[in-house]
Amino acid sequence: MRASTDNSVPTTEWEGPAGFERFGLAGRFAVPDARRFRSTWRGLVVDGVQIGEWSTSPISGAQRPRRDAAAVMLVHVAEGSMRYWSDGRAVDARTGTLHLLSAADQIRFAVPEPSRMIRVTVPAAFLPQEVRAATSGSVGQVPVTRVTSGLTSLVEQVLDPMFGGASSPAARAVRALAVAALEDSVPEAAEHDLRSQILDHIERHLADPDLGPQSIAAAFGISLRWVHHVFNVDGASVARHIRERRLDMVAATLQSDRRFPRIGALAERSGFAARDQLTRAFKARYGMTIAEYAERAGEGRPPAPLAGDGAESA
């Protein structure tokens, strides 16, 4: 293993059997032929953000997770290819693709050919709360955008052995652009995962009259704006979904109970703050009163909800 510095850019090289043995201290790895093994890391930390370029001959293994600090990694495959496994999923990382990984996860990978990758590691503390929540685990491949392409180009400038370094003009923009790139890279998959968690939270708290966008934001540690952003992927609002699920509960009760329940009790069990609020919302959704619905349900003919309703928010 050799370490050097070109214009304030530290470089470490591992070569041959001895180099591979030292490289293996960072995790569990395997190579086709240790005699031909060659791996180079050039990197530095700029304003708390680690940037680097990893060039390697074929290698496979698993890198140890960093449990000491929560961080998010953007990995750009500049040359070659890699396959990695995260949460049981296999992802093929080809030249030109960008991938979002969590430093806290153990990532298994296989590099089948000589490859070069650009990596940017951003501490989670630098990220807005909503982005931190959406990237708490490895996400996988994310779209390449103008912002992420700009970050990759900037990192290569900072790592340039002739003109780069931590004190170069380009280095001053690394942190801001890295955070912007992560905000730009939060993919639909991560948003849908967060939305699924919110839906589950709603189902478990329907009877709570305080359930709403603000309480959800507080429960997940995200902004109110982000709650609405994540939830509105299909055009439905959070408040409307909560109201409709509460009305579904009421309708199910009317279909299963032989005796007509008190409306006040129905409102309390389904999370409505007042019986008047329940009766108005129910009629708007089903086009009839609760008593009329109960009568139809008793005859085995429960009406379906109307195509749309104009009930006020829950």
The dihedrals phi and psi of 277, each to the nearest 5 degrees, come to: -65, -40
Q: Containing H/E element for 282? A: helix 275-286
pLDDT in the model for residue 310: 47
Residue 129 neighbours by CB distance under 10 Å: 14
Whole-angstrom distance, CA of residue 158 vs CA of residue 140: 26
Segments in the chain below pLDDT 70: 1-7, 66-69, 87-88, 136, 187-192, 221, 232-236, 307-314
Backbone angles phi, psi at 85, to 5 degrees: -120, 130
Determine the pLDDT at residue 44.
94
Which residue(s) pair with 74 in the sheet? 100, 120
Instruction: Give the model confidence (pLDDT) of 234-247 as tens digits.
Output: 546 899 999 999 99
Total-model pTM: 0.63
Find where tokens 């909503």 sit.
130
What would the 3-class secondary structure string for 191-257 be?
Answer: HHHHHHHHHHHHHHCCCCCCCCHHHHHHHHCCCHHHHHHHHHHHCCCHHHHHHHHHHHHHHHHHHHC
Matching CATH number, 2-186, of 1.10.10.10, 2.60.120.10, 2.60.40.10, 3.40.30.10: 2.60.120.10
Q: Where are the domains of the chain?
A: 2-186, 191-298
* The CATH number of the domain covering residues in 191-298: 1.10.10.60
> Residue 184 corresponds to which amino acid?
D
Q: State the pLDDT at residue 8.
A: 72
